[in-house]
Structure 1
Amino acid sequence: MFRAWYPDDDYIFGGDYGITPHADDVRINYTPQAPVIGIIAVIIAAISFFSFRRRWRKRKDSGNKDTGKDLLSFDFNYSGNPTNDATNNMRNRNMKNSDLPMFSYASVSAATNNFSRNNKIGEGGFGPVYKGKLSNGQEIALKKLSKGSGQGFQEFRNEIQLIAKLQHMNLVRLLGFCIDKDESMLIYEYMPNKSLDFFLFDSNMQEKLDWKTRVHIIEGTAQGILYLHKYSRLRVIHRDLKASNILLDEDLNPKISDFGMARIFGGDDSRTNTKRIVGTYGYMAPEYAMQGLFSIKSDVFSFGVLVLEIISGKKNTGFYNTDCLSLLGHAWELWISNRGVELLDPAVGSPPVGALLRYINVGLLCVQEDPNERPNMSIVISMINNEIAVLPAPKHPAFSTSRRVMMNNSDSLINKTPNYTINGLTVSTMAPR
């Protein structure tokens, strides 16, 4: 206790030292406990200083391009590699369940020779794609989010959260990712034969896809989609199936890629509505493109387009100078006039006519206008594998009105739909279930 004494009274303030008056001043007499308090204060100050210094260094280091694992020395075949570093980065909290390694910017840059032009192997809606090489000789593909990309961090995060939990031989393997300030990158297994469109729509490369290889690609893609729809842990609608998203390994095995637009559906949910239409025109189902309704049947439609493209070697949207608006319309006209064999790409040769017509039939069944009439992927695979079963006749496909019909009806279309570009499309009116 400390005491303050004044001539007129005796008042206790409290404390451990006494205060007494002496002439014109006040004398402070410290008790033996005062040095201990001073030492404690010094210790507290030192702890606070070192704590602040550590936090400052950590904050400073987080701005450097050295956080994350070393991509160059990482062994993806070794299961002992810890794969939850994403939880250590504040920006990656939403990716903490991805079970994917995060790599440092410095090591990613070194693996791609500082993102050299010579290492650039393609460009898509997400951004440029680079080839990289690790110290053990393993090659990787790195997809870098472009600042001007229509896709953003939401799609980047979506792909990490989805594909990390999907394991199938017909799905591309995502190896890891890198985030550093404004840079976002995905690291995949390298596909030496690029994507299906590289072969399919190039007159100099088409011959490398013989009939057996094309059937193999169709069947492998179908198996991958079936896994997404029925057997994966999450049950996924891809929403952007197209030739450029089917990658080919060294043996031309197909692997579905690009899950940035994918959506998870649960239980018996069969159809969902969205105001944000994403995907690629030419592969989008009519109910999705026009009304925002998507379901597993949306992927079935895209698969049907792929089948007809693989058979014909032509793009669905490459019929501007013909009477048909699309490959679907061209295939339909050949089918109903019993000239389906004419759809075949001449580079293929002469496959069995029965098998050819069977695949065309399956493709047309998948692109029927009414989603309820399209088969699911289990039935599609059954149709492909069962060469004896009689297939149902397909109905009119979507997006197939001929240019002649469109021109004859152009005046009425203009009067009835002034707010839309005239494209001659017919879409069934549907409501979500």
Structure 2
Amino acid sequence: MALASTFVSLAILLSLLLYCLNLFSVNANSYREFLQMGQSVRISDTLVSYGGNYELGFFTRDRDNSTKYYVGIWFKKVPKDKIVWVANRDYAFQTSSAFLTIQPDGNIAIRDGQMTYLVTNVPNNSYSNYATLLDSGNLVLLSNSNKAVLWQSFNNPTDTLLPGMTIGYNIDTGYTLSLKSWTSADDPAIGPYTLRFDSGSASLTVNKGSNVFWIDGNSNLSIQSVFNRAGLGQDDYNDHFTLPITSNSRFVLEVSGDLKYEDWSEKSKRWLSLQSSKCGTNNSCGVFSICNSQDRDPCHCLNGFEPFDGDSWRKGNRSAGCVRLNSLSCDTTDGFFRFVSVELPPNHANLMLDSLAECNHTCFTDCSCLAFAYDFVAVNCMLWNDQVLTLKNISTDNQDADKNRPNFFLKLAASDILTTSNVTNAASRLGNRKRNLLLIVILIPFVILLILLGLFVYRTRKQSKKGDDLLNFEVGMSMKVNKDSDKVTKVKRKEVKLPLFSFVSVSAATNNFADANKLGEGGFGPVYKGILLNGDEVAVKRLSKRSGQGWEELRNEALLIAKLQHNNLVRLLGCCIERDEKMLIYEFMANTSLDCFLFDAEKREMLDWGTRVRIIDGIAQGLLYLHQYSRFRIIHRDLKASNILLDTNMNPKISDFGMARIFSENVLQANTNRIVGTYGYMSPEYAMEGIFSIKSDVFSFGVLLLEIISGKKNTGFYQTNSFSLLGYAWDLWSNNSGMDLIDSKVDDISNKDLVIKYVNIGLLCVQQSPEDRPTMSDVVSMIGNDTASLPSPKPPAFQNVRGVESSSLSRSTGENISVNVVTNSIVEAR
């Protein structure tokens, strides 16, 4: 009897196993969640692929206060990533009661009680169907009877081509598939641009209506070279393109008609834009120009050139191209400007010459030659004689490819050479004695300039008694933390190498520090946006002669930030210390600083709850790195909303380390007689007694966290019974009304317990006593743990102190909202 029972149990187990294997027969192990017949995905629900790559759910673009709900698929690993597929792009639902379901007839539909939209239209059958989201981003509808694929979203593309997806003629469906742009960034309805594959010419085309907007012809190498690198090809029928399943890339047809090729970077956790059709057509910006597809406005004149028609150029018509600022003289004063990582224009002549020097000499001695390039692999000298069509900047991380790519040398007049860098002069290769004498005469001013520059540097070093410049910082074994500290912090001797930028290059990048390039101004000085010769956007922080800050603050900031490497800290690219100038060059942050969004009535709406949580988490990670995981323990001392910068994806980066201080491992706090920072973010022990530690930064973080949640400033905040945001938050918390602190502009909260948790953490950080406050390690642990119970906070500091405007602490001149990379810290004596 026992044997029979065991046999029955094994049979049942084997049947279940066979059922599971059969259930996963389509693309096995590539999905984990199913939508069965009769089940629903509502507004707050999502369907996640097995590996967690993609997510399906409802989304809305509520910018015009008319809520419209769509069902879409997005890349789950990036918060607020682009929607890669839309089910009902031309049929928005107006109510939050909408849901996605599988109807009794086996079709996927969206319903809200008033309207039904059929996503699929497969024949009715007697078997129940189910749907699943594959890890490739493909939504499939399958039959429960034989697991046959009845419908898939890959056969109904919108504006994004994913690996495994096809455009062109589809043999399975008999339809010709294409990508269609959105109408606008907020409207997924079918827009005016269409991407098709032309099987006759084996090329891609973007059409605007019946007109060809862009074509990937044989002479256009930008997108075609991407296809080649991705391993794309046609099958034997030569009637469609399929992006390989093994690819980590995607193609996106933008609202503007621009076709972008993006690649997923696992290291940086974001999509990198590798190519764009902005620079896809030959001579897209006109003659003597360069096209950078990474820029919003991709067209620029080459060095030494200006737009032929300035008005037309500013209006976007670049067909006339650019003209020289100064004519060539066709003598030894002319020289060459070198471009690297560019795609060469096709209109050149070819000569088989043995070396770069011969190619240089050939072009230099020919008055009609305007530019040259030398291909070492093909032993080929390329010469441009009449005109130079548009060059194209190429972004690549492949150093070997860049090494073998020919450099492009553009001939310029002597006066233009003096204002650019990377210039090579070929005149020294001529044996003519008269020309050599002329060259010597030309070099004399440069020699004199070098001598004067040497004297200037010597005098500057002697006056300032700074034996080390920004190129080679050294931290001594017994270096004092700062001149206002009574304690000495010893750190191991280290050397920081920081690139030096010439004043000429920085001036050229910022258009001679034009007002139009000015991003903002703080106590340190103005901040300018600049574009380097390689097309990279930068922010230049220039020390003002009137600034209360100087060499010590600049040196301190450069010393610290050059040693720090973290995704949530702003990156320093280099510095400039020429001509009595002191400048720091940073990576450019496209979305400026947090205060510009948080304290602006209109922009605050762009900070939805998910974005605010991501910003809080990022700041916490950056502070934890400073306090615990960097080379030294660093106290920022001026953490505030204007010192949190936001990149293109609204990821936070901590900036402004001019007031930061280094602690050794055995030092926990320090005293100062010079209080620096911003009132409202200062801890009580620092504002009143000059004591600062990692707990001072924790207090500032707590203030910032409550500001992010509420959308209100701590200082100048007034309520009937509360004089500050901290007091207001405490009153709400004490009355079990913590949810009331949330910004009224935030309406996408699905988990109210999460809001309460963040309010709790904020109040723990702003407690009166430093001993009661958590460390940043504790804070990060609290944020990441959804199950652990948090301790109850004690009343916050300054609870009964009036706002800055009326308190005894209000000796500051006020805080300006910053625009970009570096903000000034308010410095006040006690």
TM (norm. structure 2) is 0.39
Question: How far apart are the structure 1 equivalents of 2:547 and 2:679?
Answer: 17
Question: How far apart are the structure 2 equivalents of 1:196 and 1:57?
Answer: 44
CA contact (8 A) 1:98 1:160 kept: no
Q: 1:93 to 1:315 in 2, by over 3 A?
A: same
Question: How far apart are the structure 1 equivalents of 2:668 and 2:575?
Answer: 32
Match of 1:115 in 2: 513
Q: How many residues align?
A: 335
What is the CA RMSD across the aligned residues, in angstroms?
A: 2.6
After TM superposition, the structure 1 = structure 2 runs for residues 92-111 of structure 1, keeping only pairs within 5 Å, are 92=470, 95=473, 97-111=495-509
Q: 1:402 to 1:334 in 2, by over 3 A?
A: farther
After TM superposition, the structure 1 = structure 2 runs for residues 274-285 of structure 1, keeping only pairs within 5 Å, are 274-285=672-683
Letter in 2 for 1:257: S
Which of the pair has more CA radius of gyration?
1
Match of 1:133 in 2: 531
SS of the aligned residue for 2:653 comes to strand
SS of the aligned residue for 2:800 comes to coil
CA contact (8 A) 1:229 1:236 kept: yes
SS of the aligned residue for 2:686 comes to helix
CA contact (8 A) 2:471 2:500 kept: no
SS of the aligned residue for 1:155 comes to helix
Q: How far apart are 1:124 and its partner, in Å? A: 2.2
CA contact (8 A) 2:471 2:497 kept: no
Question: How far apart are the structure 2 equivalents of 1:241 and 1:259?
Answer: 9
Residues 1:191 and 2:583 are matched in the alignment = no
CA contact (8 A) 1:323 1:403 kept: no
Match of 2:769 in 1: 370
CA deviation vs aligned residue, 1:89-142 (integer Å, no higher than 9, x gap): 965587353311111111111100011110011122321111000122110011
Q: How far apart are 1:207 and its partner, in Å? A: 0.8
CA contact (8 A) 1:323 1:402 kept: no
CA deviation vs aligned residue, 1:216-239 (integer Å, no higher than 9, x gap): 000000000000000001221111
CA contact (8 A) 2:554 2:658 kept: yes
Question: How far apart are the structure 2 equivalents of 1:309 and 1:257?
Answer: 18
Q: 1:101 to 1:390 in 2, by over 3 A?
A: same
More helix by share: 1
CA contact (8 A) 2:764 2:773 kept: yes
Question: How far apart are the structure 1 equivalents of 2:685 and 2:802?
Answer: 21
Question: How far apart are the structure 1 equivalents of 2:559 and 2:621?
Answer: 22
Question: How far apart are the structure 1 equivalents of 2:506 and 2:548?
Answer: 23
Match of 2:570 in 1: 172
Q: How far apart are 1:148 and its partner, in Å? A: 2.0
Q: 1:119 to 1:310 in 2, by over 3 A?
A: same
Q: Which of 209, 228, 231 is the matching residue for 2:629?
A: 231
Q: Which of 765, 779, 801 is the matching residue for 1:380?
A: 779
Q: 1:321 to 1:346 in 2, by over 3 A?
A: closer
Q: Which of 778, 783, 800 is the matching residue for 1:401?
A: 800
Question: How far apart are the structure 1 equivalents of 2:802 and 2:561?
Answer: 41
Question: How far apart are the structure 2 equivalents of 1:399 and 1:281?
Answer: 11
Q: 1:153 to 1:364 in 2, by over 3 A?
A: same
Gaps of 5+ in 2: 1-445, 458-465, 475-494, 811-830
Q: How far apart are 1:63 and its partner, in Å? A: 6.5
Q: 1:238 to 1:224 in 2, by over 3 A?
A: same
After TM superposition, the structure 1 = structure 2 runs for residues 137-286 of structure 1, keeping only pairs within 5 Å, are 137-286=535-684
Question: How far apart are the structure 1 equivalents of 2:660 and 2:728?
Answer: 30
CA deviation vs aligned residue, 1:278-327 (integer Å, no higher than 9, x gap): 11111111100110100000000000001000000001103157542211
More strand by share: 2
- Larger CA deviation: 354-363 vs 176-185: 176-185
Q: Which of structures 1 and 2 has the larger relative contact order (alpha carbons within 8 angstroms, sep 6+)?
A: 1
Identity %: 62
CA deviation vs aligned residue, 1:334-365 (integer Å, no higher than 9, x gap): 11111111111011114221000000000000
Q: 1:128 to 1:330 in 2, by over 3 A?
A: same
CA contact (8 A) 1:63 1:181 kept: no
- Larger CA deviation: 155-164 vs 116-125: 116-125
Gaps of 5+ in 1: 1-53, 66-87, 405-409, 411-419, 424-433
CA contact (8 A) 1:210 1:349 kept: yes
Q: How far apart are 1:147 and its partner, in Å? A: 1.9
Q: Which of 712, 715, 739 is the matching residue for 1:314?
A: 712
CA contact (8 A) 2:471 2:498 kept: no
CA contact (8 A) 2:719 2:728 kept: no
Q: How far apart are 1:59 and its partner, in Å? A: 3.8
Letter in 1 for 2:789: V
CA deviation vs aligned residue, 1:364-409 (integer Å, no higher than 9, x gap): 00000000000000100111111111100000101111659xxxxx
Question: How far apart are the structure 1 equivalents of 2:775 and 2:739?
Answer: 25
After TM superposition, the structure 1 = structure 2 runs for residues 44-123 of structure 1, keeping only pairs within 5 Å, are 58-62=450-454, 91-92=469-470, 95=473, 97-123=495-521
After TM superposition, the structure 1 = structure 2 runs for residues 420-431 of structure 1, keeping only pairs within 5 Å, are 421=808
Question: How far apart are the structure 1 equivalents of 2:456 and 2:505?
Answer: 13
